[in-house]
């Protein structure tokens, strides 16, 4: 079970407030020196902490000559105050959820030419957000490695409210498909990435060794032979697009955009990918 200071911090008490409140509950009435001794709160911080707790109506400050004593309020009073705090936190959370829902459902989205995203973790976060906030449709041609359990869970939660189409390179997605019944899965009619590699290999065979070993050619080769993992495209609601840029470095890069020109360009690309794909049945159904 959590200790009282840990729980009090979750109700927006400071660490020092939580420590001295727990101490006063144990000892009922203490001087500043005693509070410092038993709570571990630095002596210079005692008085300002106790003033805040008095303002919150958890303690009384009692003058005693030049000194002051600090006394905890009665048990029933403390319990009632904490219950009220809990209700306030709950109400704040509920109101926050309502506001968040209103913002997500707003059609007045500011146009974003593009935002650059670097790193696999950030790309995953954007994928989660885009699928979770989609209003009508998700069309994806993205590497299978990005479809972790969190994305699968989000899709399963949203699939009844969205038209979701997932396009992949080949039938290696069967295991994921089993976890996503009633989601449209498609694969490319021909192994495009494999054909590109074969074509590139033929080109390479005609080149001189110094050309093959050149820096530029090696970069191009790196792109071609890793295209399945470094290329990806998703269009959301015909209003947002997310493009994983095929660059030959270990740090994956992507751009997110709501600009009509960029989204239209990516929508055309995703339509061509759809036209080059075929529907595959879920073998688990």
Written as six digits, the tokens of 102 are 């209103």
Give dist(CA 88, CA 216) in Å, integer: 62
Note the Cα 176 to chain centre separation in Å: 21
Q: What is the DSSP letter of 122?
A: H
Strands annotated E in the chain: 29-31, 59-64, 67-72, 115-118, 137-141, 163-168, 184-188, 232-236, 240-245, 253-257, 277-279
Residue 1: the pLDDT is: 41
Q: Give the domains, in start order, of the chain with CATH numbers.
A: 1-106 (1.10.10.10), 112-279 (3.30.870.10)
Q: What is the pLDDT of residue 102?
A: 64
CA nearest neighbour of 185 among 149, 153, 147: 147
Strand ranges for 162-284 from DSSP E: 163-168, 184-188, 232-236, 240-245, 253-257, 277-279
Condensed to tens digits (0 to 9), the pLDDT of residues 20-63 reads 999 999 999 999 999 999 999 999 999 999 999 999 899 999 98
Q: Give me the tens of pLDDT residue by residue for the chain, a chain 285 residues long.
A: 458 888 888 777 899 999 999 999 999 999 999 999 999 999 999 999 999 999 989 999 998 888 889 999 999 998 888 888 788 777 777 777 666 666 555 555 567 787 888 888 888 988 998 898 888 999 999 988 889 999 999 999 888 888 999 998 887 888 888 888 888 999 888 776 666 667 767 777 777 888 777 877 676 666 666 666 778 899 999 989 999 888 776 788 899 998 899 999 999 999 988 998 898 876 655
Question: What is the reported pTM?
Answer: 0.56
């Amino acid at each position: 079970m959590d200790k009282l200071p840990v729980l009090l911090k979750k109700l927006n008490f400071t660490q020092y407030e939580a420590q001295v409140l727990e101490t006063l509950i144990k000892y009922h009435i203490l001087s500043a020196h005693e509070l410092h001794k038993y709570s571990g709160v630095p002596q210079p911080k005692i008085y300002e902490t106790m003033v805040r707790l008095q303002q919150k109506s958890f303690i009384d400050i009692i003058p005693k000559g030049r000194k002051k004593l600090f006394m905890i309020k009665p048990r029933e009073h403390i319990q009632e105050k904490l219950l009220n705090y809990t209700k306030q936190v709950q109400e704040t959370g509920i109101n926050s959820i309502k506001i968040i829902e209103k913002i997500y459902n707003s059609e007045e989205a500011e146009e974003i030419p593009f935002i650059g995203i670097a790193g696999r973790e950030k790309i995953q976060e954007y994928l989660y957000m885009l699928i979770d906030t989609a209003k009508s449709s998700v069309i994806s041609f993205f590497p299978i490695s990005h479809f972790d359990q969190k994305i699968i869970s989000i899709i399963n939660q949203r699939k009844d409210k969205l038209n979701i189409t997932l396009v992949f390179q080949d039938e290696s997605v069967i295991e994921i498909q089993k976890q996503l019944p009633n989601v449209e899965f498609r694969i490319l009619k021909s192994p495009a990435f494999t054909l590109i590699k074969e074509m590139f290999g033929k080109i390479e065979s005609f080149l001189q060794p110094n050309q093959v070993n050149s820096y530029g050619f090696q970069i191009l080769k790196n792109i071609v032979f890793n295209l399945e993992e470094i290329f990806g495209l998703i269009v959301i609601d015909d209003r947002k697009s997310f493009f994983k840029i095929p660059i030959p470095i270990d740090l994956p890069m992507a751009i997110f955009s709501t600009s009509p020109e960029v989204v239209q360009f990516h929508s055309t690309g995703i339509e061509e990918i759809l036209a080059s794909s075929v529907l595959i049945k879920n073998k688990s159904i």
